[in-house]
Structures are given as C-alpha cells and as structure tokens.
C-alpha cells in the first residue's frame, strides 16, 4: 500500500485503531481524524473535513459506530437519531464526498465495518441492527455502481470483539456466558478484524467486491 492514502474513522480505539495500525504497517499513509477534527454526528463537520483535504484518499475505512442497547418501546429519540447518523448517514456522506476523486483516479478500496447484528439480531439492538443492515445494502449498491472504475467496496461483520464497546454493553458474567456460545470459545481481538480489512483494501484484492464478510468465530453458523 506504499503511496496509498488511507482514511480511517473511529481510529482512536478498538477495531478502528487496530485497522489504522495494520494499514500503517502495510505502508499506507494514514489520515485518522479525531472526533474533534471530524464529528460524525455533524454533517457540516464531515463536509468541512472533506473540503479541507489536501491529498487524494485511495482507501476509506468507515469504522466509527455506536451501539446503545435499549428496549425499542422506550428507545429515546436522541439515541435513535445519533445511531442512524453515526452508523449509517455519516459513512454514506463521507463516502459520497470522497468517491469523485476515486472515480477520477480509477482506484479505490472502501471497507465498511458492519456487524453480525446486521444479519441476526438480539433484544435491545433494533436501531443498531437497522443501521448495520443499511450499511450492507450501501456496500452492495455502491459496489455495483463503481466497479467499472476499479473501486472495490466491501463490508466486514465482526461478532464479539474485545473492545470498550463490547464491555460497555456486557458485564464480565455476560462475557463468560457469551464465550461458551461461540464455536471458537473466545472473543475476537481487534487485530484479527484488522488483518481481514487489510486484505480487502490491499492491491492483493482485485475481484472481491460488494460482499459482507462475517468474522465471528463461527457464531452465526449455529
């Protein structure tokens, strides 16, 4: 990936941080905007960040996401709006801002970080599941539109990953029980997700596009 510029959202911690570190090792030049530099809750902030870019972005990783677990019947408006904006609207807007440059240069690799909850669901995760299913649809739709321009668009759908987000929504006891339900008997480490993303946005990937790859230790196969 030498000479390629990669923009990774959500790179301050967790999966996004591991992806940025992996792409850095692969030789990409990194753009890792903090929330202060580009707040995904604000479309104006996204547009301002795109307008201020001085270098072409070849690789885009839409990683940032939130998961507020609450019953649907009493799901607060604010959480609903913030989940839709962060997980679905912001990746679409950011990608729309960067795609014209990729079309001009006839090169691009885009990876959206989805979730197993885009395919299956669990109580309390309705808005999250809606946004991640939407992200899969966005991935497929964009992939077919831009494929003639050598732009490959994929999604990865992790299961349970050892990050702050997982610990925010599950107690230690929950995690012990969850481990027993995963065929691999453990959570994924962020670096394991990062290695898959690295392949998808490398020049080794020449034909795989429009897919949502589940990486969940076999969880959804049961």
The residues of the shown chain that bind ligand NAP, judged by CB under 6 A, are 10, 12-16, 35, 39-41, 63-67, 86, 113, 115, 158, 160-161, 163-166
User: Which of 128, 149, 207, 219 does the annotation list as catalytic?
Assistant: 128
Question: From the CB of 108, what's the least distance to ligand NAP, in Å?
Answer: 20
Measured from the CB atom, the residue of 121 and 150 that comes closer to ligand NAP is 121
Q: At what angle do helices 77-84 and 126-146 cross, to 10 degrees?
A: 20
Q: Are 94 and 46 in contact (CB under 8 A)?
A: yes
Measured from the CB atom, the residue of 41 and 147 that comes closer to ligand NAP is 41
Measured from the CB atom, the residue of 61 and 152 that comes closer to ligand NAP is 61
Question: From the CB of 206, what's the least distance to ligand NAP, in Å?
Answer: 26
Question: From the CB of 82, what's the least distance to ligand NAP, in Å?
Answer: 8
Active site residue 128: yes
């Amino acid at each position: 990936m030498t000479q390629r510029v990669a923009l990774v959202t959500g790179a301050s911690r967790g999966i996004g941080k591991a992806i940025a570190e992996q792409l850095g090792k692969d030789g990409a030049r990194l753009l890792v905007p903090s929330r202060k530099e580009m707040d995904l809750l604000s479309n104006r902030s996204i547009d301002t960040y795109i307008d201020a870019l001085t270098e072409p972005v070849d690789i885009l990783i839409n990683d940032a996401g939130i998961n507020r677990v609450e019953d649907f019947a009493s799901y607060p408006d604010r959480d609903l709006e913030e989940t839709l904006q962060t997980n679905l609207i912001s990746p679409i807007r950011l990608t729309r801002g960067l795609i014209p440059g990729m079309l001009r240069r006839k090169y691009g690799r885009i990876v959206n970080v989805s979730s197993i909850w885009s395919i299956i669901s669990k109580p309390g995760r309705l808005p999250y599941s809606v946004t991640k299913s939407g992200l899969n649809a966005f991935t497929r739709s964009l992939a077919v539109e831009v494929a003639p321009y050598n732009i490959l668009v994929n999604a990865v759908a992790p299961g349970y990953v050892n990050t702050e987000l997982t610990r925010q929504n599950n107690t230690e006891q929950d995690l012990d029980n969850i481990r027993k339900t995963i065929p691999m008997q453990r959570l994924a480490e962020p670096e394991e997700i990062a290695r898959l993303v690295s392949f998808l946005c490398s020049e080794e990937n020449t034909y795989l596009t429009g897919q949502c790859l589940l990486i969940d230790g076999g969880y959804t196969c049961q």
